[in-house]
Structure 1
Amino acid sequence: MATAEHSNLLIVKFSETAKTVALKHAGRALVARAANVGRAGFTLRISQSIGYLIIASTLVAHV
C-alpha cells in the first residue's frame, strides 16, 4: 500500500517529467519554426516561441 509520502513523491516525479517533456516540445517547435522561416521573420518567431515556453513552464509548475 502506498503511503501519503510515497504519493507525494510520485506527484513530484510526474511534475518533473511533465516539465522536461514540455521543454523538449517547446525546443523542437522553436527549431522547426526557425528552419521554416526566412531571416526577416526569425526574431518574431523566436520571441513567440519563448513566450509559449514561458507559458508551458508556468502551467507545468502549477501541476
Structure 2
Amino acid sequence: MNFLYIAKGSNGEVRSQGYRDFDADFINQEELNEILKMTESIKFKINGLIFRLKNSDGKGYKNYKK
C-alpha cells in the first residue's frame, strides 16, 4: 500500500511538472493535454487498486489464486 501512495504522489508530480514545462514553453498545449490525460488515467487506476486492496480480506500472496 505504501508504494501505491508513493506512486500516486509521483504521478501528481509528473502532472505538476507538465504545467511547469508548459508555462516555460518547453511543451505545447497538445503535449500538456496528453500528459494530463495520461496522469488522470493513471490516478484512477492507482486509486482503484488502493480501494480494492483496502477492501480485500487477503494479506500478501497467501490468498492469491491463479
What's the TM-score, normalizing by structure 1?
0.53
**Structure 2: which 5+ residue stretches go unaligned?**
22-26, 54-66
The code of the aligned residue for 1:43 comes to N
**Structure 1: which 5+ residue stretches go unaligned?**
1-14
What's the TM-score, normalizing by structure 2?
0.51
Q: RCO higher in 1 or 2 (8 Å CA, sep ≥ 6)?
A: 1
Count of residues paired in the alignment: 48
How much is the aligned-residue C-alpha RMSD, in angstroms?
2.2
The code of the aligned residue for 2:52 comes to H
1:21 is displaced (CA, Å) by: 4.1
Write the deviation string for residues 8-50 of structure 1: whole angstroms up to 9, x where unpaired.
Answer: xxxxxxx6x6665444222112112333433231111101110
Residue of structure 1 in register with 2:32 after alignment: 42
